[in-house]
Structure 1
């Protein structure tokens, strides 16, 4: 993240704090700070002062599962600080806890006045994005109630009600108004000579509809013990490559991040599940495509997320009864949000179906899961959902009528509905955007693989030979059509997409690597494409760019038109290995592992497209999710693709 924010993540809760552990609540610029639960900011200010002044940082917060810093009152060389403050913070389930330890540096008794200014604006995350949109909230009311040991903030709008409670031990001596809506909790502490005293502050967030009996964390140490236990369970039993310690470290870091990114979801029968969220800070929610790819990468090492993801997405599969025209029967959900704006329909993402590729990926994961685990019971339970998903691909998805999976820009939602879903991501080499319907190349590869894998499940588990044969024939026909319509002979490369008139969208893009992963291309074409992706205009030294440089549409800091995405490269590495291009797969894997090593063994959502030959360190993309589930699982995919080589 930019602006020196540090992320603390625990399931559907995250906090972004500054170098001194403060939350400013300032809007604009990069990613906002605060305590967020289920798409709403439950702490918008959390600022410490000592004797009325902001303390100076001796040791700033470092990235990790807890935020720790050391602060002192401002002073000079001739007047050393009278006391030192040791601050430690952590997030739990819908909670935030801080221990503030104050140690006297003087041989005589001293008095110190501490204050924490707190506020909760309950702003929806969509309001904090940099698109400058505003949303009307008629009748919204905020209130504050002083408690015996703290303060409670409440937000109401019609039936919507959210609360944030702050308690302290010892209780504050006073709770003061500030004139801004925030409240100042104040303590006057008497310190013995070289003595130490401690404050514990606990924050409980209660989003709308959450009626659980939440346990207040005792301390950051208790939260960290819980996190370490869950991280250990994710890492335990995975055989990391001993001959490649950097890949082993990236896998371990990724599994630990996946443990922290597990969020609650419900299955078809209401059963409680834990599924991978897409990423923090912007996408700590269930996104179909992201959860499916994450689960696929982790499947050989951790199959449980795959089963949970399949069940959660089956539970949210469209039935055609929703108000959105995108909620066509059998379609797998793109995004599920729980915030205020989604609740009142002011953003379309409460349950949003703007994805052309989540449905085939659902079928791919089901087939891969059954093949790896032999769990035929889940395949039988999900048979109606799988058949409905195939039905969507053949009917509303466009395979029968258009020959390909098709999407159209959704006004008010996503213009592009494949994995490159930013505006302008699907374009010609000169940057021209297609009009009308779009048939993205990568989605056709997913459809091909989905048909083949579902045919295998139909044949071996459902005992439906006729259905299996129909799907196999549909896959073969799709493969023949694709190589006729998408292949650009003059460039020896597939088009990025076809437009509504069936004309090729001719940008050279990394999506071709997804066709290797799905096996859609003939071997001869696949080998040509695989080697082409390692040419200097595509390969930055840190990975394959989303768009080859040298094209007018290329931009190294564009979200999808020249950047380097770890999960994109993980799919490419798997595809290269599938086509026997093992040296090329190792080149991609080593580049990504080097990038991870340079960033504390953690791969971000996306990197800038600048070449390694001109800049010796990977350049971050300015608005990337720091913890992103597909990137966290990408090292596992590399391990699958190349082993410990």
Structure 2
């Protein structure tokens, strides 16, 4: 039985999300006006477009949230509101399909007076809205049917508007000046074109087309249809919304893919992704629901690029390329989907910095942090058009490249990426290690950039035990772990390429870093590693989840790994829903804080992989159970970007964070990280071997079947069974295609 929570209650007003520190000229924090965790919007995404709608299928109907149709970091439609007469319909149900291909909303009429004095009883009209999204196009089919015994006469109204707000404006930023809103234009077909000429010289337009054409149209504001439906009668209205941009963009043409084409295109993409990856089924249907939703969300967030599939970070705030997020997402999914890692590596290599640009925090060899395509990024009002302000993306790039090689044996890609890998290692040596002590540190160069440049990048995330802010440059604990993995991984890659001298040099650097890391970061009295070292090399003696990342890569001494795990899973750090970012009792602990007491699924996924590396099965099972339980309470079993770190209460789910992204790529990928950790999946391409190292299944997961586990051209299907009454797991090969061996290592 869970103990009662002793933390303070959450306030009604959600805290502002602090993403950037100091006082840049433009704040990039997300303003919390509505708690998305409770509001649970409906989301669709295709390539560089996404839509956020409420449960009615409307945009901006009730709250000043991120609702709307977005394309390339601009909101092309800020309002789409359906009314019967002047009344909002009653909601019957609303759901996004399991594969995220469409939104289906079922509505009916409230009690109302549709015409004259004739009373229309409630539940007479049935309205079904079906929406699907393509790149730059949203299509809706609205079907109305009269289930009454007499003819229904009423008006159907669709209000619309476009504010062409940059995503950073939607997030709460205020601009001193905006571009010019253009007068609405009527189309020959009875539709409308809304336009905006930005300060960047780009004209953005939204075209709305209606079939049949409206009976009345207040241009730029509302379309109305007069309906007369006999008993059993039906009316269908098609709505097409298209986005375009250019120096002097003409209105987008009325032609657009049909609703069925958009849905089938999305499903064809998902089916292709499924054929390229492993998939699985378990004896626990709720667990299956979680991983299936996670798979569908990850497919939706993944965008086709010339370099291959690339997962965008999350909706609504981060539907764009992020280096760190994509690298960690690909790492968590590597065992079942190495193609995602391949796409991520090629995409980031193509955008690796080659020169110095302080305003973008760019230095030669550095890997991208964030990439944006909106007006404010183009004008430099925010530095994120092509921004390099992260200390961890570069070692993570090398780390993922080595892990990809270990997984696939694909030497051709490693050979092609070797110049980029060498450049990344050069950045780590010359620019990342600012004082030559062997540790990677960060210190921002851009006046508008991020002050803290690890994954906990809010302004208050790094602190000393007394709560004071450390002076930089800052060396984070997890970044040293990534650097160790990068140097040791680069040694393996160099050896595979026949570069023996480089291999020895890189291996020596890794060994030296590991020794110095233990000396500088270990805090014996805390039973864990320090959060960071400040510019004077004083440790930030704070218990944090960051220390768990030291287990991920094996930099932690084996005798200390168990102590770190015990600290992470004690009552101060483990909320019952996962490991908190900061332990209860630390100076800045706040369970509602973005980075100082909340729980992040991806953070826990990486910790789970670390626990598996050291064979720490009991804490691994506890952690897996916590994340699974949290997913059971989540809408659609979709784990958000983060949730609050309040202690678990019996019969209640985790407390939501007000502006968490839903879905978020690395939160979705956490499901696969914990499953891979639990099964201990590993690969040995040189010996054509698939390995299960110390696999463990919790009591509520008796059978796991894995299909299409690939190693080169070969593939295998296996079944793992938990023995009743003990922790042993038996494995059976169900099907084998090509030359591949399967081994269980206990």
Fold-level match, TM-score > 0.5? yes
**Equivalent residue runs for 1:64-213 within 5 Å:** 64=97, 65=100, 66-75=102-111, 79-81=120-122, 83-130=125-172, 132-137=173-178, 139-149=179-189, 150-157=191-198, 158-177=200-219, 182-208=220-246
1:262 Cα deviation after fit: 1.4
Match of 1:441 among 471, 477, 485: 477
> What whole-Å deviation, never above 9, does each CA across 1:201-244 have from its counterpart, x for those lacking one?
0111124589999972312x543333333333334563425345
Decide which moves more: 240-249 or 294-303. Answer: 240-249
8 Å CA contact retained: 1:241, 1:248: yes
CA distance in 2, matches of 1:492, 1:537: 13
Judge conservation of contact 2:599–2:642 (CA < 8 Å) in 1: yes
In the TM superposition, what is the alpha-carbon distance from 1:478 to its structure 2 partner?
0.9
Computed over aligned residues only, the root mean square deviation of the Cα atoms, in angstroms, reads 2.3
Correspondent of 1:487 among 522, 533, 540: 522
The CA distance in 1 between the partners of 2:144 and 2:263, in whole Å, is: 22
Structure 1: distance between partners of 2:616 and 2:264: 44
> Structure 1 residue 133: deviation in Å?
2.9
Cα distance change, pair 616–83 in 1 and its aligned pair in 2 (3 A):
closer
Q: TM-score, normalised by structure 1?
A: 0.93
Q: Distance in 1 between matches of 2:305 and 2:371?
A: 10
Report the counterpart of residue 290 of structure 2 in structure 1. 250
Whether contact under 8 Å (2:359, 2:448) holds in the other structure is no
Determine if the alignment matches structure 1 residue 584 to structure 2 residue 626. no
Deviation at 1:4, TM superposition (A): 4.9
Q: Is the 8 A contact 1:234 1:255 kept in 2?
A: no
Aligned to 2:328: 293
CA distance in 1, matches of 2:591, 2:400: 32
CA distance in 1, matches of 2:401, 2:125: 59
2:56–2:91 Cα contact (<8 Å) kept = no
2:268 to 229, 232, 250: 229
Q: What aligned pairs does 1:362-401 form with structure 2 within 5 A after superposition?
A: 362-398=397-433, 401=436
Note if 1:49 corresponds to 2:87.
Answer: no
Is the 8 Å Cα contact of residues 135 and 346 (structure 1) preserved in structure 2? no
Alignment partner, residue 66 of structure 2: 32
Equivalent residues in 2 for 1:172-571, closer than 5 Å: 172-177=214-219, 182-208=220-246, 216-219=256-259, 221-236=260-275, 238-240=278-280, 242-267=282-307, 273-322=308-357, 324=359, 326-398=361-433, 401-409=436-444, 410-461=446-497, 463-571=498-606
State the alpha-carbon separation in 1 of the partners of residues 493 and 62 from structure 2. 53
Whether the 8 Å CA contact 1:251–1:633 is kept in 2: the answer is no
CA distance 1:19–1:287, change in 2 (3 Å): same
SS in 2 for 1:168: strand
Q: CA deviation at 1:105?
A: 3.5
Indicate the larger mover: 104-113 or 597-606.
Answer: 104-113
User: For the residues of structure 2 that align with 1:574 and 1:317, how far apart are their CA atoms?
Assistant: 28
Taking the aligned partners of 1:239 and 1:70, their CA distance within structure 2 comes to 32
Structure-2 separation of matches of 1:453 and 1:170: 61
Q: Cα offset for 1:580?
A: 1.6
Matched, 1:61 2:94: yes
What do residues 611-639 of structure 1 show as CA deviations (whole Å, max 9, x unaligned)? 11466312211111110110111111111
- For residues 462 and 282 of structure 2, the distance between their equivalents in structure 1, rounded to whole angstroms, comes to 41
Structure 2 distance, partners of 1:241, 1:174, is: 53
Instruction: Report the alpha carbon displacement of residue 507 of structure 1 after superposing the two structures with TM.
Output: 1.1
Q: Structure 1: which 5+ runs fail to align?
A: 268-272
Question: Aligned partners of 1:413, 1:26: CA distance in 2, in Å?
Answer: 33
Q: Is the 8 A contact 1:263 1:285 kept in 2?
A: no
Partners of 2:361 and 2:449 within 8 A in 1 = no
How big is the shift at 1:27? 7.5
SS at 1:62's partner residue?
strand
Q: Which residue of 1 aligns with 2:704?
A: none
1:310-331 CA-to-partner distances (Å, cap 9, x unmatched) read 1110111001154636210000
Equivalent residue number for residue 270 of structure 1: none
- Distance in 1 between residues matched to 2:601 and 2:651, nearest whole Å: 18
Contact 2:92 2:108 in 1 (8 A): no
Unpaired segments ≥5 residues, structure 2 = 1-35, 114-118, 680-695, 698-746
Residue in structure 1 matched with residue 708 of structure 2 by the alignment: none
CA distance in 1, matches of 2:358, 2:548: 36
Question: What displacement does 1:96 show?
Answer: 0.9
CA deviation after TM superposition for structure 1 residue 108, in Å: 4.2
